[in-house]
C-alpha cells in the first residue's frame, strides 16, 4: 500500500511512502522537478547500499548526478564536514536551479538540509530517508542543523524539503538495534495523541505506522512550523531522555534514551492522576516488544541536573510534555527546581 501526505508549511511538499521508492526516485522526481544536476549526499554506511541505485534511477530520468559521501556517525555532523560539503557544491558547481538529495538517516538529512538552506542562500533538497527514525521524524518538518563541541544541533535553520521519498523496503536491511531506536519514536506518537499506533504495532503494519507518524508530525508542524507551541509535543520523553543520553556518554541509542524518558514522565503523570495507569502499561509493553529499556540506574538527582542543561530551557523554566491518555498530551511549564522531585516520582 502506498501513501502520500501533503505538508502545508511556508512551503508545500509531499511525503511519499511506498516500497520500492528508491529505484524509481528519478521517475518520481521528474513529476515534481525539471531535469537538473543533483548532488546526492550520503554516508559511508548507506552509500554502498543505495547510492548506485539512486544515481541510476536519476540518470535514467535525465538528471545529472554527483555525490558527496562522508564518514558515517554523529561526529561528522560538524562545521568541518559542512565546510567540505559547501566547497564540494561550489566545485561542481551546483547552481540555484540544481538540488541536493539527502540519502540516509538523521545525520545525513540534518547536514544536507543545512547545506541546502545556506549554500547560495538556499537550494532545493529532497529527503530520501533510509532509517525508521529519519522516516518518522527528522526527514519531515524542516529542522536542519549541525553540532558544535558545546552541544548537539546548536547551529541550524528551519528549511523545509521539496519532497520526501520514504522507501519502506530500506527498513528490511536496518540493523535490529536501529529499527528499535526508530520504534521508540513511533511509540512516542502513540503516546502523544495517536493511540491507533498501538493497534498497528500489534499488526506489524510498518507502512501504515510510518504513515500515521508522519500525519501526526504534519499536524504539529503545520500548526507550529517554528516550534513555539504545539510542535513541542513532539519532544515527549526527550527532556529526561536527552539527560540520560548525556549521562551515559551517548553509549545509549537515542531511541533507548527516549524510551526511558517517556516512562519517567508517564509514570509521573500516572502518580499525579493526570494519566490512566493503562497507558503506562501500554507504553511499557510496546517498548519491551522492541527490547527498549524502561528504566535506568542513574539517580533522579543526576537526571534532573543533566536535564537543566536542556537547550529548550528558558531561564529557570522548562516545558515538559506530559501524556494524559485519551485527551492527548499537554505542555506543562515547570521550574527547574522541581525537576528532581518529578524524576523521583517517575523513576
Q: Which is nearer to ligand GLY, 222 or 227 (CB)?
A: 227
Task: Kindly state the smallest distance separating residue 304's Cβ from ligand GLY, in Å.
Answer: 22
Peptide bond between residue 116 and the one before it cis (omega within 30 degrees of 0): no
Task: Kindly state the smallest distance separating residue 30's Cβ from ligand GLY, in Å.
Answer: 29
> How far apart are the C-alpha atoms of 237 and 254, rounded to whole Å?
11
Which is it for strands 64-70 and 99-104: parallel, antiparallel or unpaired? unpaired
Task: Kindly state the smallest distance separating residue 224's Cβ from ligand GLY, in Å.
Answer: 9
Q: Which is nearer to ligand GLY, 12 or 95 (CB)?
A: 12
Question: Residue 231 has which C-alpha cell?
Answer: 510542535
> How far apart are the C-alpha atoms of 31 and 25, rounded to whole Å?
10
Task: Kindly state the smallest distance separating residue 101's Cβ from ligand GLY, in Å.
Answer: 20
Q: Which is nearer to ligand GLY, 21 or 142 (CB)?
A: 142
* Cα–chain center distance at 334: 25
Site for ligand GLY, rule CB under 6 A: 137, 141, 143, 227, 231, 234
> How far apart are the C-alpha atoms of 30 and 165, rounded to whole Å?
13
Question: Residue 238 has which C-alpha cell?
Answer: 526527550
Phi, psi dihedral angles at 150 (to 5 degrees): -80, -15
Task: Kindly state the smallest distance separating residue 151's Cβ from ligand GLY, in Å.
Answer: 16
Q: With beta carbons less than 8 A apart as the criterion, state whether 111 and 82 touch.
A: yes
> How far apart are the C-alpha atoms of 36 and 24, rounded to whole Å?
17
Q: Write out the H or E segment, with its range, that includes residue 80.
A: helix 79-91
Q: Which is nearer to ligand GLY, 55 or 218 (CB)?
A: 218
Task: Kindly state the smallest distance separating residue 240's Cβ from ligand GLY, in Å.
Answer: 16
Q: Which is nearer to ligand GLY, 11 or 271 (CB)?
A: 11
Helix (H, G, I), strand (E, B) or coil at 125: strand
Q: Which is nearer to ligand GLY, 67 or 227 (CB)?
A: 227
Amino acid at each position: 500500500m502506498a501513501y502520500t501526505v501533503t505538508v502545508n508549511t511556508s512551503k508545500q511538499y509531499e511525503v511519499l511512502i511506498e516500497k520500492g521508492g528508491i529505484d524509481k526516485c528519478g521517475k518520481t522526481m521528474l513529476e515534481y522537478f525539471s531535469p537538473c544536476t543533483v548532488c546526492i549526499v550520503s554516508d559511508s554506511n548507506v552509500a554502498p547500499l543505495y547510492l548506485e541505485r539512486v544515481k541510476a534511477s536519476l540518470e535514467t530520468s535525465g538528471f545529472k548526478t554527483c555525490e558527496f559521501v562522508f564518514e558515517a556517525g554523529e561526529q561528522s555532523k560538524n562545521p568541518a564536514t559542512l565546510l567540505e560539503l559547501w566547497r564540494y557544491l561550489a566545485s561542481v558547481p551546483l547552481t540555484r536551479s540544481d538540488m541536493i538529495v539527502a540519502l540516509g538517516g538523521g545525520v545525513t538529512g540534518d547536514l544536507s538540509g543545512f547545506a541546502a538552506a545556506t549554500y547560495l542562500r538556499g537550494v532545493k533538497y529532497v529527503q530520501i530517508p533510509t532509517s525508521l527514525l529519519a522516516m518518522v521524524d527528522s526527514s519531515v518538518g524542516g529542522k536542519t542543523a549541525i553540532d558544535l563541541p558545546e552541544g548537539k544541533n546548536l547551529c541550524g535553520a528551519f528549511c523545509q524539503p521539496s519532497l520526501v521519498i520514504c522507501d519502506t523496503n530500506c527498513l528490511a536491511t536496518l540493523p535490529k538495534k536501529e529499527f528499535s531506536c526508530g520504534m521508540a519514536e513511533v511509540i512516542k506518537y502513540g503516546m502523544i495523541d495517536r493511540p491507533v499506533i498501538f493497534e498497528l504495532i500489534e499488526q506489524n503494519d510498518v507502512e501504515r505506522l510510518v504513515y500515521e507518524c508522519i500525519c501526526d508530525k504534519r499536524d504539529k508542524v503545520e500548526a507550529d512550523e517554528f516550534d513555539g507551541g504545539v510542535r513541542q509535543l513532539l519532544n515527549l520523553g526527550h527532556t529526561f531522555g536527552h539527560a540520560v543520553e548525556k549521562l551515559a556518554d551517548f553509549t545509549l541509542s537515542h531511541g533507548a534514551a527516549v524510551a526511558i524518558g517517556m516512562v519517567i514522565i508517564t509514570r509521573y503523570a500516572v502518580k499525579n492522576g493526570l494519566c490512566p495507569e493503562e497507558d503506562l502499561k501500554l507504553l511499557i509493553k510496546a517498548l519491551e516488544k522492541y527490547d527498549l529499556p524502561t528504566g535506568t540506574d542513574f539517580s533522579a538527582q543526576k537526571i534532573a541536573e543533566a536535564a537543566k542543561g536542556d537547550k529548550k530551557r528558558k531561564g529557570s523554566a522548562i516545558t515538559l510534555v506530559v501524556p494524559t491518555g485519551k485527551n492527548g498530551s499537554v505542555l506543562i511549564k515547570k521550574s527547574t527546581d522541581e525537576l528532581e522531585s518529578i524524576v523521583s516520582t517517575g523513576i
